[in-house]
Amino acid sequence: MKRQEFIDALYDAGWESTRDAQWNGAKELHRKLFPSTAALEDEQRGLVEEAHQAGQSDAGVDPSYSNAQVYASEIGV
């Protein structure tokens, strides 16, 4: 199960995230329950961030790691 699917299921079960620490806890729980998927998503996220940075450079925009992280989050990686 992908991390975003897991988090969506938590919300469906009635979970309410009110603090950043809860997000970190949910991510760590996902990592414990689905270690292989979590490792693949970590690897994929890095590749998506690199590709996004390369795309920004080609467009004449200063590549920003934080922008790449936001982009990767927006596409669900």
The CA distance from 39 to 31, in Å, is 8
Entry pTM: 0.49
Label residue 37 exposed, middle or buried (CB < 10 Å: 0-12, 13-18, 19+).
Answer: middle
Average pLDDT (1-22) is 82
Looking up tokens 């450079």 gives 57
Strand segments (E) across 15-72: none
| Domain limits, the chain | 1-6+35-77
One-letter amino acid for residue 14 of the chain: G
pLDDT band with cut points at 50, 70 and 90 for residue 35? very high
| pLDDT tens digits along 54-67 | 666 555 555 565 66
The CA distance from 7 to 9, in Å, is 5
